[in-house]
Amino acid sequence: MRILSADDAAVPCSPGDEVDDATLDALYGHTGDLLRLNFVTTLDGAATGGDGLSGTINSAPDHRGFAAMRRAADVLLIGAGTVRAEEYGPARVPMVVVSRSAQLPETVRGSQGVVLATSSSCGATESGTVWLCGEDTVDPATVVERARSSFGPHVLCEGGPTLAAQLVAAGLVDELALSWTPRLVGGGRGEHPRILDGADLDVQLSSRHLLEEGGTLLGLWRVDR
């Protein structure tokens, strides 16, 4: 893996430098409050492959970045639909699963370190593993605040597109990590959504770094405030 640009990299580096795992950890490391989105897309902007899953458009370099970001995070934030579709299992770090229907996917149900975030209108009961974060709908700001107070300041959101759009719209996102894998899938937006699905947005970002390995590009951008 090599650096293509390092406009605001977290560690001193220059274009052309090789990136080992230690450097990758430094590039994605952070101290203090941070909410980072992490997505992968094809070159034509599809967030899923032909089977409707993001896992099928992953590449080995993208997985390296994914693993580094997970190592840096204090807590994962994921929509229940993504957990269900991608068949997430328990992770090394705590996981907060957001569900409007208060339905925790079976693949993580009963797992240690997994919390369900939902709304009061769903009829769920507040507990150590069930958070009521809003009355009629799940309030993303409340979810993020509780995730940080319970697990730590560095929150990593791995989707899906609806939850990510809500976080951006609420002004809660600090960084976007986006990988492009060298493939095309075509099709319609309904079958292959973009990384954000929700309200219209117009948010400016600034480049932090861009990496490349085997045709996969790994970029990191900071949301301009």
Q: What is the pLDDT along the chain (225 residues), one digit of tens a residue?
A: 999 999 999 999 999 999 999 999 999 999 999 999 999 999 999 999 988 899 999 999 999 999 999 999 999 999 999 999 999 999 999 999 999 999 999 999 999 999 999 999 999 999 999 999 999 999 999 999 999 999 999 999 999 999 999 999 999 999 999 999 999 998 877 788 899 999 899 999 999 999 999 999 999 999 999
Report helix, strand or coil for 48.
coil
The pTM for the full model equals 0.96
Three-point CA angle 44, 48, 193, nearest 5°: 75
> Radius of gyration over alpha carbons of the chain, in Å?
17
Locate 70 and state its tokens. Answer: 């997970």
